[in-house]
Structure 1
Amino acid sequence: MTLNFLRCLMCRQFRTYFLLVIAMAFIFQSLLVFYLLAKVKDTEGPTEFGSSDSSRIHQVLVKEKELGVLGKSTCGSLSKTALSAIKRATTKKCKEELSDVACKLKNNQLVPERLPNYCPRKGSISGSSLGCFHDNNQSRLLSSYGVKLPGLTIQKCVDLCTQSAFMYAGTHNGKECYCGNKKPSLEHLLTRTYCSVACDGQSSQTCGGVDSTEIFDSGVPTRESAKLRDPIINGTAKIAFILTLNGRALRQVTRLLRVIYRPHHVYLIHVDSRQDFLFRSLLQLELKYPNIRLTRKRQSSIWGGASLLDVLLQSMEQLLEVDSQWQFVFNLSESDFPLRSIESLEALLAANPGRNFLKSHGRQTRQFIHKQGLDRVFHQCESRMWRVGDRVLPAGIRIDGGSDWVGLARSVVEFVTSPTHRNDPLLRGLKELYRYTLLPAESFFHVLILNSKFCESYADNNLRMTLWRRSQGCLCQHRHVVDWCGCSPMVFRTTDWTHLTSVMAKSTVFFARKFEAAIDQSIMNRLEEQLTNSSLNYPGLDSYWESAYHRADLTPKTNHALLAVSLSLTKHAISLLLQNSVVECSGLRPSRIVSITSYFRHDHYLGDLIHFEVDENNVKFETLVKPLTKTTHFMNSPRILSTLQVGSDFDPKEQVLRNRLGVLSSTSKPVVIFKWTGHVNSTTAQLSHLIWFDPDDHVRAVHHVNLTDASKMNNQMLEIDTPLKPGVWLIAVVYDGKKIAMTEFLIVPQIADENLQFEEKMNELQKIWGNYLPVDAKSKNNRREKALLMKNDISTYLEKTTAEYYAIQDICYTGHPPQCATIQLHDWQSCSNTDWSSFSQDPKSKLS
């Protein structure tokens, strides 16, 4: 038997079969390699086959395994939306949280199916039939809203109309549901035989007929809100204010507090957990004012985040603990400002005890639900709201919402926060629902009040005014923190004064938003003059200072590029101070940056104040620096471009660059902003080109832009996959074949850049657009020398380069003068003698 087996091994048929198996295995392995390389290309962009392929394949295998585990986990395959969120999350903890939420959603464990409504319309029974009525497309009885519902049942239709706050629901032709608020006339009443078409979702029920609709009472009350009584003259009410603050606008916050502060009210301040400067600066208020508290339970209050509702609920609970007498609570932000005195607000509240002041979206509930993303599940982690999937809202309740700036009676706050009501089915269900809801504070209190025993206290007026310009405010500027597009109101400017005062004359409003002193402080000056019935004339009224950096900050993370540029500028400032000095001042070498403060006057940015220490003990200086424009307009080209500037953190709503000093690093996202003059010849081309050149004169990107409305600022971000190479970059603007303008910007080199990989290779764009680079020998030689210097000595490179990109406006010493300055005090100034120093004390900065 063994001999026969060995002979078989040698036979031709076996050898052929054996070789075929080996060939198929090799082909399968090759296909697997090419598949994995394709996955690499899909995730990392174009690549070349080489020695590093094995490591990239290993990375893809790890990612595939990770996504497979998270995607299927314990509940099978997840939706594309959930997988996208899991893939984009960067931490294991966040990935696991998203996977868990997605599984709960899939297993119907995340959203309550039905919630109770404790606010029925008097004399009505939800779901009771009014009868069968003649009805068709030409004369629809319930014309407010209609939809075809797969699996239609009577209860589904009633729930839908209840959710949208319609008083009546109608089923038609087995599959259609209609809603409205007008009770049908008896002249259209038919016998029930006309409504005999079986419901699509339950054959034992009938849902109207071909030309007939069975109409039901939803039990929802009318939309009328509680009428407000006129204010009581000299009436009083104790108010609790919750201030939810973000950013670094300390002076604007203290100004708001000063205007609304009264000793008999109570103030609770929540500062975003990422804003150490503002929290640290406001802590001193607790020592001076017993009715002002800063909460230590701080959260990341990102736009649209679930944490915003948590902050409000925790703050309300804390307010109940610190004071037992307040009657109403109002939430404000750093961008709010009062339109009327706090005493006038007290008079209104005294006349309307127990009222809840909220602003509704209007009457298009279905549209509101969709635009607000209420029918989607979101989860907050990594300071971002991740979209996980779609959901069906609980049945049985009315959905409403609008503004998250509210005024609530104490009774509602006690109900929401008290442990005795923790197991209330409505309250518990809504807290579960809004834990995974985008913009939860814009809807939670509305829904709770309208479906609870407090429904008759609902006043459809939150006593606020906002300025909306949808074309500018709805530009998805929050996509970096949320998987959704939302809208935000505009900042009030002096040009909006007429509109502001006209609304005040017609409406019951006490606060307005948004205000931002860094954009327009003058309108707040006018409002305060109107509030106090006096002319403001204190020092610093027309100036504004806002912190950009402080060495004591723990958060946010230190911007090392900003500090490197600032230190280079301080060296330049000291050298300018000493250039005419005959005294040796060896101790004036800058050693550490203390703070950086943006300075504005008459609503114009004038530069940043860099406060720094020198080697000499107890000596500090402050210098005012401002970025220089590096834009050149060519004389032989049409002047159709009025603005050309590069920076980062562009705000498309307010059309300003938030990174005012314009310091950019290898990881920055540069954006070029440009504005046309409006003098474009319509007979010529309407397309221009933005060409980005890196420090090696390589074309990195070309953007084709239309010559659009000259009244608006346009912007274009540079989006490339690799880090930006340090050095001087150029942008050329080409129109009708001619280079009409050019600007340059600096990517600040840092020691950490040595570990980054920069793209070196040329591309096809170079052949087409490379000839628009400056060709003169002086420019080329200058760029070559700078590149060599940066490679050998980054510190010296920065000192020389920043002097070309920034102007030293002025310099002064703070506190005691340097010892070497005693002979020349007439040449050196103290910061106390300047009108721009960030440390000049504003006598009006105190609260009372």
Structure 2
Amino acid sequence: MAADKKWLFTLFITAFLSLILLLSILSSFSSHTPYPLILRRGLNYPPAFAYYISGSSGDADRVFRLLLAVYHPRNRYLLHLGSESSDFERRKLGYLVRRVGVMRAFGNVDVVGKPDAMTYMGSSNIAAILRGASILLKVDGGWSWFVYLTALDYPLLTQDDLSNVFSSVRRDLNFIDHTNDLGWKEGQRIRPIVVDPGLYLARRVQIFHATEKRKMPDAFKVFTGSPWVTLSRSFLEYCVLGWDNLPRTLLMFSTNVVLSQEVYFHSVICNSPEFRNTTVNSDLRYMVWDDPPKMEPVYLNISDYKQMVESGAAFARQFTKDEAVLDMIDKNILNRGSNRVTPGAWCTGRSSWFSDPCSQWGDVNILKPEIHATKFKESIENLLDDLESQSNQCIIQQSK
């Protein structure tokens, strides 16, 4: 009997120690530094970005992948799936976000619960962007720049790279491709009067055209350009809070313009004495266009990889879902594993096939730029040289 009791006691102790060891191993996989941590904001610290990422029906997985690629605890994120997407997709996107430990801990990612109807080529798109900017201004008072992305975009550098380069940039600057040389757009985009049913109908339908055209305005100059913008917090506060009437006036004018997202911010900033000298004439994007250009840039693939890397751009568009070149960007530029956030200096965990380095973190206010930031830094320095010469700021081209 004594021998049996001794054997049972030994078995119990062995099982207990094995359980403790197993729990310890599992804990090492999932443990992280408790939140809250100190997020240091201000001119003496790296800038933070507010990302508005928009998608349509079937884009939940693409939006989530893009979020992982551009994630950093210091930034703020707002994800939007248009009204044509199902409630199931929105719940799925919210579930995917909650599964990521660092996003759950820092609470810096939100999903729009009541979506906006967005009509292709209509002004409902600029309404949705302004709503997103308003939310981001309200929920976070510390970010410096607003970045607009869609599910078709992807970054070409890490957030450590982006923040490191932007640390030397004046925080009132706005990166917005713009011109008032309208060319064919005057007759086909600006003067035609269109109505966007997405502004008053719950379902998604296309814009329709009025029979008459309007005269060009003489109270302000119309500017146009790329809809892919990186805007300063101060300028967005001007657009949203509107202590001057110009943003509201141009919003009403843009309501009946084809592709108003190519007109609104550009015209507001270049007609504002306070902000017209803060423009950097670039959208920071790598895109390839047909010749002659069509409505959208061509879809990028592996054959474009080298040119993308050497372009000095921060983002590229557009990509098909799960395009192979995205895996190349993840592996060679972002160093990002499948279903993991892009690692940065803040990640302190061990990196392996079964362990996510960003499941543990330390000081989120430090940066570790990689070699791929070099081209982007050169690009920004060239743009800032143009800014100093004032050769690229809201120049009004005289009609011939």
TM-score bracket, normalised by the shorter chain, equals 0.5 to 0.7
- Is the contact made by 1:337 and 1:513 (CA closer than 8 Å) also made in structure 2? yes
Partner of residue 300, structure 2: 492
| 1:282 and 2:93 matched | yes
Which one scores higher on RCO, CA 8 angstroms, separation ≥ 6? 2
Partner of residue 359, structure 1: 177
Matches of 1:303 and 1:296, distance apart in 2: 21
Partner of residue 386, structure 1: 208
The offset of 1:497, in angstroms, is: 2.2
Find the residue that maps to 1:365 and give its secondary structure: coil
Aligned 1:666-815 pairs, distance under 5 A? none
1:345 to 148, 162, 174: 162
Matches of 1:333 and 1:427, distance apart in 2: 24
- Is the contact made by 1:235 and 1:346 (CA closer than 8 Å) also made in structure 2? no
Find the residue that maps to 1:324 and give its secondary structure: coil
1:245 to 48, 55, 75: 55
Matches of 2:224 and 2:317, distance apart in 1: 18
Deviations 1:257-295 (A, max 9, x none): 111111111001111111014312112256453111112
2:334 to 532, 535, 540: 532
Find the residue that maps to 1:512 and give its secondary structure: strand
Letter of the structure 2 residue corresponding to residue 532 of structure 1: L
Partner of residue 257, structure 1: 67
Query: Which is greater in Rg?
Result: 1
Matches of 1:459 and 1:243, distance apart in 2: 22
Matches of 1:266 and 1:522, distance apart in 2: 28
- Is the contact made by 2:223 and 2:267 (CA closer than 8 Å) also made in structure 1? yes
Matches of 1:368 and 1:428, distance apart in 2: 22
- Is the contact made by 2:157 and 2:334 (CA closer than 8 Å) also made in structure 1? no
The offset of 1:846, in angstroms, is: 12
Aligned 1:470-485 pairs, distance under 5 A? 470=291, 474=294
Deviations 1:123-172 (A, max 9, x none): xxxxxxxxxxxxxxxxxxxxxxxxxxxxxxxxxxxxxxxxxxxxxxxxxx
Partner of residue 373, structure 2: none
| 1:512 and 2:316 matched | yes
Inter-CA distance 845–430: structure 2 relative to 1 (3 Å threshold) = farther
| 1:523 and 2:325 matched | yes
- Is the contact made by 2:122 and 2:258 (CA closer than 8 Å) also made in structure 1? yes
Partner of residue 466, structure 1: 287
| 1:376 and 2:192 matched | yes
- Is the contact made by 1:300 and 1:383 (CA closer than 8 Å) also made in structure 2? no
The offset of 1:427, in angstroms, is: 1.9
Partner of residue 253, structure 2: 433
- Is the contact made by 2:69 and 2:334 (CA closer than 8 Å) also made in structure 1? no
Inter-CA distance 332–410: structure 2 relative to 1 (3 Å threshold) = same
The offset of 1:396, in angstroms, is: 3.4
Partner of residue 205, structure 1: none
% identical aligned pairs: 23
Two-structure CA RMSD over aligned residues (Å): 2.7
Aligned residues: 287
The offset of 1:379, in angstroms, is: 0.5
Deviations 1:579-605 (A, max 9, x none): xxxxxxxxxxxxxxxxxxxxxxxxxxx
Q: TM-score, normalised by structure 1?
A: 0.32
Letter of the structure 1 residue corresponding to residue 89 of structure 2: L
The offset of 1:461, in angstroms, is: 1.0
Aligned 1:587-736 pairs, distance under 5 A? none
| 1:334 and 2:136 matched | no
Comparing both structures, which one devotes a greater share of its residues to strand?
1
Deviations 1:736-790 (A, max 9, x none): xxxxxxxxxxxxxxxxxxxxxxxxxxxxxxxxxxxxxxxxxxxxxxxxxxxxxxx
Find the residue that maps to 1:345 and give its secondary structure: helix
Inter-CA distance 532–358: structure 2 relative to 1 (3 Å threshold) = same
Matches of 1:368 and 1:843, distance apart in 2: 53
1:300 to 117, 123, 128: 117
Deviations 1:326-359 (A, max 9, x none): 1111010011100111122212322221100111
Inter-CA distance 847–447: structure 2 relative to 1 (3 Å threshold) = farther
- Is the contact made by 2:221 and 2:267 (CA closer than 8 Å) also made in structure 1? yes
Matches of 1:846 and 1:296, distance apart in 2: 31
Matches of 1:402 and 1:301, distance apart in 2: 20
Matches of 1:492 and 1:465, distance apart in 2: 10
Matches of 1:301 and 1:844, distance apart in 2: 40
- Is the contact made by 1:254 and 1:847 (CA closer than 8 Å) also made in structure 2? no
| 1:456 and 2:277 matched | yes
2:81 to 271, 290, 295: 271
The offset of 1:314, in angstroms, is: 0.7
Aligned 1:135-174 pairs, distance under 5 A? none
Comparing both structures, which one devotes a greater share of its residues to helix?
2
Find the residue that maps to 2:208 and give its secondary structure: strand
- Is the contact made by 2:196 and 2:206 (CA closer than 8 Å) also made in structure 1? yes
Inter-CA distance 258–845: structure 2 relative to 1 (3 Å threshold) = farther
Matches of 1:847 and 1:522, distance apart in 2: 24
